[in-house]
């Protein structure tokens, strides 16, 4: 079966991998010159199925109002006239109810645990390095924040997930670098089975595995529209990204197998007309851009971009640096160790579609690092990044059938797409290959927005 995967973030590449394992003829289309250059590039790297939590949670609306009034805040909100933003917020508020929270969290955990199993099975077959570390420590700065975490802890307890509640001294035993912290946590929660790793590095390695399975990658190519006839998607309209032709031709001379282009390669960019690539099945994995592409076919996906930021720094003092992944629960900012580097990531900025760096967000990241690991890295060495999380209001991704024949979704992974990537890719590939998915998909498809 000829399948086209749109988007080469971690979600698209994981889907391509499982489709190739199912014997499909797979082509991936991406507008960037490589894989994982969108939201999958600079994320916090945490794979914590026990912790995956909808942002719509009891107490969150009050907490957000409090955040908006603070200078150092994990939340930035720019109200706009965009009706989609207000629809998204209204639905998000409805999902903050305790009963909804529990349902949503359990759905997210179902796909996240499955995904971790898929990742482990994959790793047993393909051993490559991607900055992996074991264990995940949540730090609480105040009793109020600890109290807000109780519903999430109840879900962990009910599900039998292994976790330990720690005092400040025990936190420093797990992460000895905390002995040098400027602030002390009132408490911590440690999840020993959770892990972290560099998502972009993993995706690059996964691309190589895909290519050895015969997957074709077409880079520097923009998806313009879906083509449909008789209620079925038949192909994808694409066009080379203008201005990248000269560089691509140079790359092709260097590494012809790595960079493929759809059009006649001798055609100059300015004259390159859009063209249609035919397919039996098309998987949309365009992250935040997915909703706009499927809307003309009547497929309504309640996706909204929520910007986040990260800083990556080389570790300068091993003893005073984190060993694995931590989360400052109060400022919703993660600190993760990737080999010789550490990454600080967080902030939710709603209402801004542009990918410009915002000083206020970068200051929050650097403050969190300075509070917990002041001697681990040199602030001036920080490489900053901004990405857009593809968020749905209730948290769980939308996997599988779109309602239009031949069109499949793998979207809406929000703040936990890396943690859900392998499982989501496998589920969607199984559905396309007409195999029964290994997990129950109730609440993980677009169907829940049609009820």
Ligand X SMILES: Cc1cc2nc3c(=O)[nH]c(=O)nc-3n(C[C@H](O)[C@H](O)[C@H](O)COP(=O)(O)OP(=O)(O)OC[C@H]3O[C@@H](n4cnc5c(N)ncnc54)[C@H](O)[C@@H]3O)c2cc1C
413 binds ligand X (CB under 6 A): yes
CB of 154 to ligand X, least distance (A): 22
Asked whether position 235 contacts ligand X by CB under 6 A, the answer is no
- Reference 171, options 184, 158, 152; nearest CA is 184
Pairing assessment for the beta strands 281-284 and 407-411 based on DSSP bridges: parallel
Alpha helices in 95-244 (DSSP H): 98-125, 143-148, 150-158, 168-174, 199-212
Q: Which one among 3, 4, 5, 7 touches ligand X, defined by CB under 6 A?
A: 7
Nearer to ligand X, 101 or 309 (CB): 309
Our finding on whether 345 is near ligand X (CB under 6 A) is: yes
Collapsed DSSP state (helix, strand, coil) of residue 295: helix
Q: Which helix (H) or strand (E) holds 87?
A: helix 83-94
State yes or no: residue 432 binds ligand X (CB under 6 A): no
430 contributes a contact to ligand X by CB under 6 A: no
- Which of 12, 49, 58, 177 lies at the binding interface for ligand X (CB under 6 A)? 12
Q: Is 224 helix (H, G, I), strand (E, B) or coil?
A: strand
**Min dist. Cβ of residue 84 to ligand X (A):** 17
Interface with ligand X, residue 32, by CB under 6 A: yes
Residue from 3, 43, 133, 402 in contact with ligand X (CB under 6 A): 43
Please pick, from the candidates 3, 4, 9, 63, the single residue that binds ligand X as defined by CB under 6 A. 9
Q: Applying CB under 6 A, which of residues 5, 10, 281, 284 lies at the interface with ligand X?
A: 10
Burial of 49 (0-12, 13-18, 19+ CB in 10 A): buried
- Specify the stretch interacting with ligand X by CB under 6 A; choose among 73-81, 306-314, 316-324, 425-433: 306-314
39 binds ligand X (CB under 6 A): yes
Other Cβ atoms within 10 Å of 188 Cβ, number: 24
Q: Does 310 bind ligand X (CB under 6 A)?
A: yes
Decide if residue 391 touches ligand X (CB under 6 A).
Answer: no
Q: Token pair of 450, please?
A: 């049609």
Tell me which stretch binds ligand X (CB under 6 A): 99-107, 119-127, 286-294, 399-407.
286-294
Q: Where are the beta strands (DSSP E) in 86-152?
A: 133-140
CA distance 385 to 40: 11
Considering the rule CB under 6 A, would residue 328 count as an interface residue with ligand X? no
CA 34 to CA 240: how far, in whole Å? 14
Among 16, 191, 218, 223, binds ligand X (CB under 6 A): 223
Size of the site for ligand X (CB under 6 A): 39
Instruction: Report the nearest approach of ligand X to the CB of residue 289 (Å).
Output: 4
| Cα gap 298→404, rounded to integer Å | 9
* By the rule CB under 6 A, 302 interacts with ligand X: no
Cα 79 off chain centre by: 24
- Closest Cα partner for 387 from 349, 419, 360, 413? 349
Among residues 277 and 286, whose Cβ is nearest to ligand X? Answer: 286
Instruction: Output the smallest distance, CB 179 to ligand X, in A.
Output: 25
Closest distance of CB 325 from ligand X, Å: 8
SS3 135: strand
* Residue 349 interacts with ligand X (CB under 6 A): yes or no: no
According to the binding rule CB under 6 A, does residue 49 interact with ligand X? no
Binding region for ligand X (CB under 6 A) out of 89-97, 178-186, 266-274, 285-293: 285-293
State the DSSP code for 190: E
Residue in 46, 56, 187, 431 binding ligand X, rule: CB under 6 A: 46
> Scanning the structure block, which residue is given the tokens 């996706």?
303
Question: Which residues in 156-215 contact ligand X (CB under 6 A)?
Answer: none
Cβ proximity to ligand X: between 37 and 228 the closer is 37
Contact between 419 and ligand X by CB under 6 A: the answer reads yes
Contact 186, 146 (CB under 8 A): yes
Rounded to a whole number, what is the largest CA-CA distance in the chain? 66
Sign of the CA dihedral with 280 first, then 281, 286, and 292 last: positive
CB 379 within 8 A of CB 366: yes
The nearer residue to ligand X, 23 or 274, going by C-beta atoms, is: 274
Identify the three-state secondary structure at position 293: helix
Q: How far apart are CA 318 and CA 178, in angstroms?
A: 12
Binding site for ligand X (CB under 6 A): 7-12, 29-32, 37-40, 43-46, 222-223, 285-287, 289, 308-310, 334, 345, 387, 389-390, 413-419
């Amino acid at each position: 079966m000829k399948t086209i995967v749109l988007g080469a973030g971690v979600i698209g590449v994981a889907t391509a991998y499982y489709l190739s394992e199912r014997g499909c003829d797979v082509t991936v289309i991406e507008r960037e010159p490589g894989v994982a250059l969108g939201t999958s590039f600079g994320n916090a790297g945490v794979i914590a199925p026990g912790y995956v939590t909808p942002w719509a949670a009891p107490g969150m609306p009050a907490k957000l109002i409090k955040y908006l009034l603070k200078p150092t805040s994990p939340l930035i909100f720019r109200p706009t006239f965009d009706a989609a933003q207000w629809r998204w917020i209204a639905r998000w508020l409805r999902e903050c109810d305790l009963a909804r929270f529990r349902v949503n969290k359990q759905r997210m955990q179902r796909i996240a645990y499955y995904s971790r199993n898929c990742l482990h099975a994959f790793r047993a077959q393909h051993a490559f390095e991607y900055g992996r570390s074991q264990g995940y420590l949540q730090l609480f700065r105040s009793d109020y924040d600890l109290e807000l975490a109780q519903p999430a802890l109840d879900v962990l307890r009910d599900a039998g997930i292994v976790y330990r509640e720690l005092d400040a001294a025990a936190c420093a035993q797990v992460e000895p670098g905390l002995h040098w912290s400027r602030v002390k946590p009132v408490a911590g929660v440690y999840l020993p089975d959770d892990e972290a790793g560099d998502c972009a590095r993993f995706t690059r390695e996964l691309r190589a595995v895909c290519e050895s399975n015969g997957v074709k990658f077409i880079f520097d190519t923009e998806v313009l529209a879906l083509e449909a006839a008789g209620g079925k998607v038949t192909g994808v309209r694409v066009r080379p990204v203008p201005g990248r032709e000269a560089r691509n031709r140079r790359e092709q001379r260097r590494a012809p197998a790595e960079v493929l282009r759809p059009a006649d390669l001798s055609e100059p960019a300015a004259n390159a007309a859009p063209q249609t690539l035919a397919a039996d099945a098309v998987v949309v994995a365009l992250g935040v851009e997915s909703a706009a592409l499927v809307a003309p076919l009547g497929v309504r996906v309640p996706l909204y971009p929520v910007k986040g930021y990260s800083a990556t720094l080389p570790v300068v003092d091993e003893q005073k640096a984190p060993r694995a992944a931590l989360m400052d629960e109060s400022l919703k900012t993660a600190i993760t160790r990737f080999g010789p580097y550490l990454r600080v990531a967080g902030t939710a900025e709603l209402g801004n579609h542009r990918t410009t760096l915002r000083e206020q967000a970068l200051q929050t990241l650097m403050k969190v690092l300075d509070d917990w690991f002041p001697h681990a890295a040199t602030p001036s060495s920080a490489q900053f990044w901004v990405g857009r999380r593809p968020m749905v209001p209730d948290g769980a991704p939308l996997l599988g059938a779109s309602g239009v024949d031949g069109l499949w979704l793998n979207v809406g992974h929000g703040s936990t797409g890396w943690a859900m990537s392998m499982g989501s890719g496998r589920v969607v590939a199984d559905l396309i290959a007409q195999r029964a998915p290994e997990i129950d998909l109730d609440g993980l498809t677009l169907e829940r927005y049609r009820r």
